[in-house]
Chains A and B, each alone.
Chain A
Amino acid sequence: MTSEPAVEVESLVKRFGDFTAVDDVSFTVQPGELFGFLGPNGAGKTTTISILCTLLKPSGGVARVAGHDVALEQAAVRSSIGLVFQEVTLDDYLTGAENLRFHAVLYGVPPSQVRDRTRPLLEMVGLADRADQQVRFYSGGMKRRLEIARGLLHAPRVLFLDEPTIGLDPQTRKHIWDYVDTLRGRESTTMFLTTHYMDEAERCDRIAIIDHGRIVAIDTPSALKASVGADTVTVSTGDDEAASRALSAGLGLQTDLTDDGVRFRVEDGEAFVPRLFDHLPTGVRSVNVRRPSLDDVFMEYTGHDLRDADAGTADQFRMNAMVRGFRRG
C-alpha cells in the first residue's frame, strides 16, 4: 500500500467549452511527499485540484488519489483527502470544536473517537483554549489553523493545501508552517500545496510548474534551480553605460542596465568575477553574484513572477466557469 502513489495523474484534460484549462497533464506524487504545484494565475492549478478533489469531472485522462479513480470512486477519494481551500470554509456561528465535530460526522469518524482526535489537533494548532468560542470571533490566522486541524481530523492520506497562507501576515504564516512541519515529522501525510510564496515553494520535496494548462517543469527545487543554470551578476561602476558597452563588445554578454548597475547572466558567476576587471574601462564600485532562485526558475518557465498574485482575467474566467460547472451539477 505504501508503494502506491498518493496522487497519480495521467494525460488529464479539462475543457470548459472551447477553453482548455488543463491540457494533457501527467504527474505522480509519492506517499509522504510535500508536493508543490505552482503556476501563474489562470494556469490550471485550481482546476486540477478541483478535479483531484472530485469537485469537477475530468474531460479526459485519468486521475487517482490514494489509489482511487477520482471520476469513478468519488466517495473513496473524498474519504482519503483533506482540504484547506483558499477561502475560509468554516461556519462562523459554530464554535471551533463544533466545526470539527461537524467535519468528523461528515467523514464518518466514529462518535467514540471524535473527542480523542479533536483534542490533540486543537492543541497542535494552539486553539485548545479557544475551542468553545464561535469562529466569528477568531482572527484570520486562527481560522486557517482551525481549517488545517479540520483537514487532518479524518486522517487523510493526502492533504490539499490551496494557498493556505494567502492574505496572512508573515508571523502567522511562519506559525502555520511550524505546525505543518511538526505534523510532517509525526505522520506521513502526503501534502499537495499551491502557493505564491517562494519560501513556501522552497520547502517542497518536489515542484511542478504549470502554465497554460501544461506542466512545463517538474523536479526538486534544487534541480530546478540548477536547470536554469546561470547566475545573475550585477556590477556597479563609475559609468555603467560605458561598462555595459564594454562587456557586450569584449565578452559578448547580453547586458541590462538597471538602477543597481549592469546586470547579466553567466555560468558560475563567482569564477567569472576576476575576468570582469580586465574588461571594464572604469573603476568597479560593487559586484553582486546571485545564484538562481525559484523566482528565476518560475520566470524562466512561465515568463511571470511567482509573487504576481493578482487574479488576471483568464483566472476570473476559469473561476466563473468552475462555479457554473458546480451549479450545473
Chain B
Amino acid sequence: MTDTVLPAVPATTPIGTHQNGPLVRNARAIVMVWMRDLIRLKRTPTRIVTGIAQPLLFLFVLGAGLQHLIGTQRAGGVDYQQYLFPGILAMSVLTSALFSAIAIVWDREFGFMREMLVAPVSRSSLVFGKALGGGSVAVVQGLILVVVAPLVGVDLTVSRFFAMLGFLLLLAFALTAFGIVVASRMQRMESFQMVMALVLQPMLFLSGAIFPLVALPKWLGVITRLNPATYGIDAIRRVLLPHIAPLTIFDWTVPLWADALFTLIFGTLMLALAVRLFAKTE
C-alpha cells in the first residue's frame, strides 16, 4: 500500500471536461446505462425464470383449456394457441419492460440514482439509456419464448423471425419509456402492486394479447383501440401468422405500417415525457 502509484494526472485538472466533448460523453453514458441493465439481467437468473413462467402458463394451460371453447373461427382463422403465442410474447415484453423501468424507483430508494444524477451528463441520456436497457432486457425475455413456437404450430421462418424481432424491439422500447413515466411518478416500491393491478394487467387484457378484438361490446372495443400496446401486438401477430384476420378500427383495416407508426409515436411521446419527469433539478 505504501508504494502504490496514484493517477498521473494532477487533481487540479478534471479530466472529464478536457478530453472529450459532451456529445461523446453522453453517447458513452447511454451505452453504459444500457449495458448496466443487461449485466443485471445476467446476474439475476431467477428473474429470467419468473419472467417466462407466467407466459408459458397462459400458453399451455389457459391456451389448451380454452382451445375447444373458442374454436378457429373466433380466433381470427387460427388455432387459439397459435393466436395466443404472439400474445404471450407481448405479455413477457410488457411485464419485463415495466419491471425494468420501475427499478428506477429502487435506484432512487437505494441511492444509485444519486450517483447518476450528479454526473455531468444530461438526463435525456440517462432516460434514453434506460429505455434501451429495459427494452433490450424485455426483448431477451421475449426471445426465450420463441423456442416453444413449433410446439403450438407457429411456423417460424428466418424472415418472419427478423420482422418479429423488429416489432418486438419497437414495442419493448415504447413500453419501457412508458414504464419510466410511471416510475417517475411513483414514490416508493410499495406502489408496485398497484402498478401491476392498475397498469400492467389492464394494458395486457385490453390489448388483444389474450383474446381477439372482434365482436366485443362497444365500450370494450373502443378501449382496446385506445390502448397503445394493441398495435404492437397486432403487428407481431400478423408477422408470425400471415393468414390471421388483421386489426380493424370500425371498418378500417389497420395496415401494418400504421401499427408500427402508432407504436413509434407512442414510444416517442413517452420518451419525451419521461425526460421531462425524470427526477433531477436543472
B1-21: CB near A (< 8 Å → 1, else 0) gives 100111101111111110110
Q: Which residue of A lies closest to B184 (CB)?
A: A327
The reply to whether A102 and B32 contact each other, CB–CB distance below 8 Å, is yes
The reply to whether A108 and B39 contact each other, CB–CB distance below 8 Å, is no
Residues of A within 8 A of B16 (CB): 79, 107-109, 154
Question: Does B115 sit at the interface, judged by CB under 8 A?
Answer: yes
Q: How far is the CA of A88 from the CA of B4 in the complex (A)?
A: 26
Question: Does A208 sit at the interface, judged by CB under 8 A?
Answer: no
The contact of B11 among A85, A123, A189, by CB within 8 Å, is A189
The contact of B112 among A75, A89, A98, by CB within 8 Å, is A89
Q: How far is the CA of A189 from the CA of B280 in the complex (A)?
A: 27
Residues of B within 8 A of A55 (CB): 114, 117-118, 281
Q: How far is the CA of A314 from the CA of B112 in the complex (A)?
A: 25
B99-118: CB near A (< 8 Å → 1, else 0) gives 00000000000111111111
Residues of B within 8 A of A329 (CB): 276-282
Q: How far is the CA of A116 from the CA of B10 in the complex (A)?
A: 14
The reply to whether B14 and A327 contact each other, CB–CB distance below 8 Å, is no
The reply to whether A102 and B36 contact each other, CB–CB distance below 8 Å, is yes
Q: How far is the CA of A102 from the CA of B126 in the complex (A)?
A: 12
Q: How far is the CA of A122 from the CA of B114 in the complex (A)?
A: 22
Determine the interface band of chain A, counting residues with CB < 8 A from chain B. 35 or more
Q: How far is the CA of A108 from the CA of B14 in the complex (A)?
A: 10
The smallest beta-carbon distance between A50 and chain B, in angstroms, is: 9
A98-124: CB near B (< 8 Å → 1, else 0) gives 100111011111110100110011011
Q: Residue among B6, B9, B13, B44 with the most chain A CB within 10 A?
A: B6
The reply to whether A106 and B119 contact each other, CB–CB distance below 8 Å, is yes
The reply to whether A88 and B6 contact each other, CB–CB distance below 8 Å, is no
Question: Does A228 sit at the interface, judged by CB under 8 A?
Answer: no
The reply to whether B29 and A155 contact each other, CB–CB distance below 8 Å, is no
Residues of A within 8 A of B6 (CB): 120-121, 124, 183, 186-187
Residues of B within 8 A of A326 (CB): 117, 279-281
Q: Which residue of A lies closest to B43 (CB)?
A: A93
Question: Does A83 sit at the interface, judged by CB under 8 A?
Answer: yes
Question: Does B121 sit at the interface, judged by CB under 8 A?
Answer: yes
Residues of B within 8 A of A214 (CB): none
Residues of A within 8 A of B24 (CB): 108
The reply to whether A106 and B29 contact each other, CB–CB distance below 8 Å, is yes
The smallest beta-carbon distance between A156 and chain B, in angstroms, is: 6
The reply to whether A187 and B4 contact each other, CB–CB distance below 8 Å, is no
Q: Which residue of B lies closest to A113 (CB)?
A: B15
Residues of A within 8 A of B115 (CB): 89-90, 102-103, 106
Residues of B within 8 A of A120 (CB): 4-7
The reply to whether B281 and A123 contact each other, CB–CB distance below 8 Å, is no
Q: Which residue of B lies closest to A111 (CB)?
A: B28
Question: Does A53 sit at the interface, judged by CB under 8 A?
Answer: yes
Question: Does B22 sit at the interface, judged by CB under 8 A?
Answer: yes
Q: Which residue of B lies closest to A92 (CB)?
A: B110
Q: Residue among A81, A105, A116 with the most chain B CB within 10 A?
A: A105
Residues of B within 8 A of A66 (CB): 14
Given A89-B114, A98-B39, are A116 and B7 neighbors across the interface (CB < 8 Å)?
Answer: yes
Q: How far is the CA of A92 from the CA of B237 in the complex (A)?
A: 38
The contact of B10 among A56, A105, A134, A155, by CB within 8 Å, is A155
Question: Does A80 sit at the interface, judged by CB under 8 A?
Answer: yes
A310-329: CB near B (< 8 Å → 1, else 0) gives 00000000000000011101
The reply to whether B20 and A126 contact each other, CB–CB distance below 8 Å, is no
The 9 closest A-B pairs by CB, nearest first: A108-B16, A106-B119, A89-B111, A78-B120, A108-B25, A187-B11, A79-B16, A105-B32, A89-B115
Other A-B pairs beyond A89-B113, A108-B16, A183-B6, 10, CB < 8 Å:
A85-B111, A91-B112, A106-B115, A108-B17, A108-B25, A116-B7, A187-B6, A188-B10, A326-B117, A329-B276
Report which A residues bind B (CB closer than 8 A). 1-2, 31, 53-57, 66, 74-76, 78-81, 83, 85, 87-94, 98, 101-103, 105-111, 113, 116-117, 120-121, 123-124, 126, 134, 154-157, 182-183, 186-189, 325-327, 329
Q: List 6 A-B contacts (CB under 8 A).
A: A74-B282, A98-B39, A107-B16, A108-B25, A113-B15, A134-B43
